[in-house]
């Protein structure tokens, strides 16, 4: 039995620069490291509503593919924002605010998180305006963080971001500005306006001259990875991790944390992107960051990125073993597979369109002998997937799956 249509196109390339069977290097540790992880863990664990997101065993998938286990980290309820991005944007916001209070002479030392939550510095924080560009989820996290800690917020979205995602961001008190073009155009406009108006950019992608804040964003994501490793049953070490692409922040954060934890026995990390927005795949083929131009027209809105984050590339260029592309049709079928309870022992799960690229890559590879062999998938493989979002665009989710997220979770199979 096939879980996905075996005729769906898929591309796979091995990363010739990958460093195998070695400890994490200085280049990667300059981006993400144990001290940074400890800081993120200690900060985020203080926030109201923090708890580890659940890890599910997709037993039906593992049986059908003939692998030892498939594990799905479900980020659909993280802080009520519906995606893993809640860990990154809001973390970078609070880090920036604390630094700025010291820089302005308001505090001699960085204030406590509780002091910010209690509104001790609210009058000063209202004078600070944070901004970013987003496909939806990162902007929601930044807006939530700004609301939580009491500063101003302006979020830029591009032409094809849905009205549902715009409303979700605005619900956290942000001013939302729609600009022509694609995600990368919105990134440039947000940076230009911030420079002119004295705003602070909290972007999830890095570029020359802008590294510190995206590093904080990615460091926030590492908490999710460490949670997943701790939740695996005793004695189980992942052999493979299939990760969504985008600008590379999620993939780099999970890859780095796995490399730090497991050392030279780190899992094989496979980065999966939409075939219409495959900047990481093309970069791996070229051996250096490549810009993909055009409309980047994919349903996987959170992955519709044409430019690689330079910090992410510092990790992935040597830490990711393989890069893949999948189609929108494959992603939609994975959403339905999860919703129907056909992946997780008759337990329906809500997975948004950007949550399932890694799953699509795993299943398509597992169903084809040449790809299965190329990736070393076998009966002993233990595969980790990151379910990076839930129904963050409820109307689109209903359209694609055929029923609402609420209906999916209320159903018994």
pLDDT in tens, 361-401: 999 999 999 999 999 999 999 999 999 999 999 999 999 99
Catalytic residues: 85, 135
Q: How far apart are CA 72 and CA 53, in angstroms?
A: 10
Q: Which domains can be identified in the chain, with CATH numbers?
A: 11-84+213-410 (3.40.50.1100), 89-203 (3.40.50.1100)
Best CA proximity match to 93, nearest among 153, 146, 50: 146
Say if CB 264 and CB 236 are below 8 A apart: no
Instruction: Find the mean pLDDT for residues 225-247.
Output: 97
The pLDDT of residue 412 is above 70: no
The pLDDT of residue 413 is above 60: no
The per-residue pLDDT of the chain, averaged, comes to 95
Radius of gyration of the chain (CA): 20
Percent of the chain with pLDDT over 90: 91
The pLDDT of residue 1 is above 80: no
The pLDDT of residue 295 is above 90: no
- pLDDT confidence band for 205 (50 / 70 / 90): confident
Q: What pLDDT, on the 0 to 100 scale, is given for residue 84?
A: 96
Half-sphere exposure of 190 (CA within 13 A, CB side): 31
- pLDDT confidence band for 411 (50 / 70 / 90): low
- pLDDT confidence band for 11 (50 / 70 / 90): very high
The model's pTM: 0.95
What is the three-state SS of the chain?
A: CCCCCCCCCCEEEECCCCCCCCCCCHHHHCCCCHHHHHHHHHHHCCCCCCCCCCEEECHHHHHHHCCCEEEEEECCCHHHCCEHHHHCHHHHHHHHHHHHHHHCCCCCCCCCHHHHHCCCCHHHHCCCEEEEEECCHHHHHHHHHHHHHCCEEEEEECCCCCHHHHHHHHCCCCEEEECCCCHHHHHHHHHHHHHHHCCEECCCCCECCECHHHHHHHHHHHHHHHHHHHHCCCCCCCCEEEEECCCCHHHHHHHHHHHHHHHHHCCEEEEEEECCCCHHHHHHHHCCCCCCCCCCCCCCHHHCCCCCCHHHHHHHHHHCCEEEEECHHHHHHHHHHHHCCCCCCCCCCCCCCCCCHHHHHHHHHHCCHHHHHHHCCCCCCEEEEEECECCCCHHHHHHHHCCCHHHHHHCCC
Q: What pLDDT, on the 0 to 100 scale, is given for residue 164?
A: 87
Q: What pLDDT, on the 0 to 100 scale, is given for residue 136?
A: 85
Q: How far apart are CA 93 and CA 101, in angstroms?
A: 12
Q: What is the pLDDT of residues 64-95, one digit of tens each?
A: 999 999 999 999 999 999 999 999 999 999 99
Q: What pLDDT, on the 0 to 100 scale, is given for residue 207?
A: 86
Q: What is the pLDDT of residues 315-336, one digit of tens each?
A: 999 999 999 999 999 999 999 9
Q: What is the pLDDT of residues 19-53, one digit of tens each?
A: 999 999 999 999 999 999 999 999 999 999 999 99
């Amino acid at each position: 039995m096939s879980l996905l249509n075996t005729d769906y196109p898929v591309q796979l390339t091995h990363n010739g620069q990958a460093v195998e069977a070695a400890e994490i290097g200085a280049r990667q540790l300059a981006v993400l490291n144990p001290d940074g992880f400890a800081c993120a863990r200690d900060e985020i664990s203080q926030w109201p509503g923090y708890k580890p997101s659940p890890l599910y065993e997709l037993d039906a998938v593992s049986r059908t593919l003939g692998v030892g286990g498939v594990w799905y980290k479900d980020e659909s309820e993280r802080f009520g924002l519906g995606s893993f991005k809640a860990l990154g944007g809001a973390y970078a916001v609070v880090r920036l605010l604390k630094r700025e209070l010291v820089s302005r002479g308001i505090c001699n030392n960085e204030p406590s998180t509780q002091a910010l939550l209690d509104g001790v510095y609210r009058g000063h924080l209202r004078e600070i305006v944070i901004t970013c560009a987003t496909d939806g989820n990162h902007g929601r996290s930044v807006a939530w963080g700004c609301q939580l800690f009491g500063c101003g917020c302006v979020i830029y979205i591009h032409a094809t971001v849905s009205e549902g995602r715009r409303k979700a961001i605005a619900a956290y008190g942000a001013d939302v500005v729609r600009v022509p073009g694609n995600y990368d155009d919105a990134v440039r406009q947000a940076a230009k306006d911030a420079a002119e108006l004295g705003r602070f950019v909290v972007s999830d992608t890095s570029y020359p001259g802008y590294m510190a804040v995206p590093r904080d964003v990615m460091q926030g994501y590492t908490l999710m990875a460490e949670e997943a490793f701790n939740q695996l049953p005793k004695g189980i070490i992942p052999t493979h991790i299939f990760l969504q692409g985008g600008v590379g922040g999620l993939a780099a954060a999970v890859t780095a944390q796995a490399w730090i934890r497991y050392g030279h026995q780190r899992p094989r990390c496979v980065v999966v992107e939409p075939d219409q927005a495959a900047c990481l795949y093309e970069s791996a083929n070229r051996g250096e960051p490549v810009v993909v131009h055009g409309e980047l027209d994919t349903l996987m809105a959170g992955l519709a990125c044409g430019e690689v984050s330079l910090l992410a590339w510092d990790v992935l260029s040597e830490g990711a073993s393989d890069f893949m592309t999948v189609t929108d049709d494959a992603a939609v079928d994975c959403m339905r597979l999860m919703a129907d309870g056909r992946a997780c022992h008759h337990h329906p799960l809500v997975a948004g369109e950007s949550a399932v690229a890694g799953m699509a890559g795993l299943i398509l590879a597992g169903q084809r002998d040449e790809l299965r062999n190329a990736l070393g998938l076998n009966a002993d493989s233990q595969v980790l997937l990151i379910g990076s979002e839930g129904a963050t665009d409820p109307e689109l989710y209903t359209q694609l799956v055929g029923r609402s997220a609420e209906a999916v979770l209320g159903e018994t199979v």
